[in-house]
Amino acid sequence: MTRTACITTPIYYVNDRPHIGHIFTTTLCDAWARAMRIQNCDVFFLTGTDEHGVKVEKSAAEHNVTPQAWADTNAAEFQRVLSLFQLTNTDFIRTTQPRHERQVQAFIERLQKSGALYKGSFEGWYDEGQEEYLTETRAKECEYKSSISGKPLVRAKEENWYFKLSAFSERLKAHFESQPNFVQPSARMNEVIGRLREGLQDVPMTRTNFTWGIPMPGDPGHVIYVWIDALFNYITALDYTDASEKNPRARYWPADWHVIGKEILWFHAVIWPAMLMALELPLPKNIHAHSFWISEGKKMSKSLGNFIDLPTIETYIARYGLDAWRWFMLTRGPIDATDADFRAVAFHETYTSDLVNTVGNCSSRVTAMIVKTFNGEMPADIENGGTWPARCQQAVTDWQKHFAQFQLTDAAEDAMKLLRDVDLFINQTEPFKLAKDPAQRERVASILGQCLESVRIALLLLEPFLPQKMSEFSTLLGMPSDAPWNVRSQWGYLKPGSTITKVALYPRVEIAKP
């Protein structure tokens, strides 16, 4: 049976315009989804938009449109961006879709029946921008200001429906103990465990101060809190109110990865698993919480003019190409526990050193020599490839392991190392010199054959990162990209006699004048 693989992005608020943060997370998921697809997995890659809540209601009013019209316009913009960046999501869920609303209500009814909800009144510190209550300890830590917007927290009191999060403390602890890699990177897992030790407060599930949301079943004066509504997207998109085999999407749950930014980890690592526990549904397998992009050394802000918004990104793509944009995101991005700085100079240097000087140069060097020396024909039977088959096999195995653990930067490095080794081998064996001596023809054929097959495998491993040029390369070698993974990733797929043309993948680009 084909292995399933499921990955999700956060669903993005429709009151913001798409920017580097959203595109970064979605690109991470896209690279993983592509890596699973080339391994012939049955992939479900989900993204979408979060459309309810007081913020959307307010900005719609400011723009003199209905919240639905506001959500429609902005959700369309997020969808446009997906195709602009050739991101390969399977589905796009919008929380105002009937399929979502209906199922959220069904799940909430189930929670009610399970005894996990109660009605009560609550007073606490509230971050209006984030629509989130903070405990006294945390409010004090951030000096009663929002850690995101810097605006003062407000004292808020509400009569609400509550989810008994506190009742799940022990089960959550046990889960984290038995699955220490549940949250990645480990620094983030430790933060969650630390916070769990401070004790858990029950979570308000509903609000009464606005109407733009899903009504609470049986209590229509209450609207389901936007975060609770949003978290359910991961399973409503899979029609998971029907978890039986009759539902063709049920096979994708539990998701392999929820990929999110670090600021929304608590919801994903604690509240969401606890709700799933209450519903007796399987928990997601892993959560990856990445850090943040800053820009030219500073937090991105519209007023500083250093915001990497869509028009800015488009200038990079026009100059360097989409592959280059993805490469920078995926290999220099804040994928681990530290923030990453987006600098124009670093972008340029990364493009030049990795794509021009390594990927481009190595592949064009090898193909050019074959064209020149052997008239464009794959020269040798490389059955016996010296140490290269084993090296390539190792790179493939490492790459698979790194993707499985969501270590995307390491997976890219597995391929890059192979290319650097090929370069070194060429410098040491000097086939371009040997080619001048007819007696060395067989030796040259064997060297170049080994190089080309290793380059082919390295470039196959780079496909999820650089989909545009890498598929061009396979086509140039006349190799169908729909061949099964265990054939494509094997040494010797490239047969002697195949036609080889000289490739030029990444042109040198002048740095933009500031």
Based on the shown chain and the rule CB under 6 A, indicate whether residue 22 belongs to the binding site for ligand MSP: yes
Based on the shown chain and the rule CB under 6 A, indicate whether residue 231 belongs to the binding site for ligand MSP: yes
Based on the shown chain and the rule CB under 6 A, indicate whether residue 329 belongs to the binding site for ligand MSP: no
CA 417 and chain centroid, separation: 23
Q: Which of 228, 260, 359, 378 binds ligand MSP (CB under 6 A)?
A: 260
Q: Which of 24, 125, 425, 491 binds ligand MSP (CB under 6 A)?
A: 24
Q: What is the DSSP string of 15-38?
A: TS--BHHHHHHHHHHHHHHHHHHH
CB of 17 to ligand MSP, least distance (A): 10
CA 82 and chain centroid, separation: 13
Strand partners, 417: none
Based on the shown chain and the rule CB under 6 A, indicate whether residue 168 belongs to the binding site for ligand MSP: no
Based on the shown chain and the rule CB under 6 A, indicate whether residue 445 belongs to the binding site for ligand MSP: no
- For residues 32 to 51, the per-residue mask of contacts with ligand MSP, x marking binding by CB under 6 A and - elsewhere, is ------------------x-
Name the residue among 59, 94, 100 with its Cα closest to residue 78: 94
CB of 117 to ligand MSP, least distance (A): 19
- Residue in the shown chain whose Cβ atom is closest to ligand MSP: 21
**Does residue 308 contact residue 293 with C-beta atoms inside 8 Å?**
yes
Q: Which of 216, 230, 277, 451 binds ligand MSP (CB under 6 A)?
A: 230
Based on the shown chain and the rule CB under 6 A, indicate whether residue 261 belongs to the binding site for ligand MSP: yes
Q: What is the CA radius of gyration of the chain?
A: 26
Based on the shown chain and the rule CB under 6 A, indicate whether residue 255 belongs to the binding site for ligand MSP: no
Site size toward ligand MSP (CB under 6 A) is: 19
Q: How far is the C-alpha of 284 from the C-alpha of 184, rounded, in Å?
A: 13
Q: Would you say 78 or 162 has its CB closer to ligand MSP?
A: 78
Instruction: Select the span of 161-169, 258-266, 385-393, 503-511 touching ligand MSP (CB under 6 A).
Output: 258-266
CB of 231 to ligand MSP, least distance (A): 5
- Give whole-number Cα distances, 467 to 81, 217, 434, 473, in Å: 17, 46, 35, 10
Q: Crossing angle for the helix pair 467-476 and 441-462, nearest 10 degrees?
A: 140
Q: Would you say 230 or 324 has its CB closer to ligand MSP?
A: 230
Task: Give the Cα-Cα-Cα angle 172, 208, 218 (nearest 5 degrees).
Answer: 75
Instruction: Select the span of 36-44, 213-221, 256-264, 321-329 touching ligand MSP (CB under 6 A).
Output: 256-264
Q: How far is the C-alpha of 107 from the C-alpha of 113, rounded, in Å?
A: 10
Q: Which helix H or strand E contains 274, and what residues bound it?
A: helix 272-278
CB of 292 to ligand MSP, least distance (A): 4
- Three-state secondary structure call for residue 359: helix
Residues 6+ apart with CB under 8 A from 493: 453, 456, 479, 483, 487
Based on the shown chain and the rule CB under 6 A, indicate whether residue 264 belongs to the binding site for ligand MSP: yes
Q: Which two tokens stand for residue 86?
A: 């050739």
CB of 347 to ligand MSP, least distance (A): 15
Instruction: Select the span of 158-166, 208-216, 260-268, 383-391 touching ligand MSP (CB under 6 A).
Output: 260-268
Based on the shown chain and the rule CB under 6 A, indicate whether residue 313 belongs to the binding site for ligand MSP: no
DSSP character at residue 337:
S
Q: Would you say 276 or 444 has its CB closer to ligand MSP?
A: 276
Q: Which two tokens stand for residue 159?
A: 């009569």
Q: How far is the C-alpha of 366 from the C-alpha of 500, rounded, in Å?
A: 10
Q: Which two tokens stand for residue 207?
A: 């609000």
Residues in the site for ligand MSP, rule: CB under 6 A?
10-13, 16, 21-22, 24-25, 50, 230-231, 233, 260-261, 264, 292-293, 300
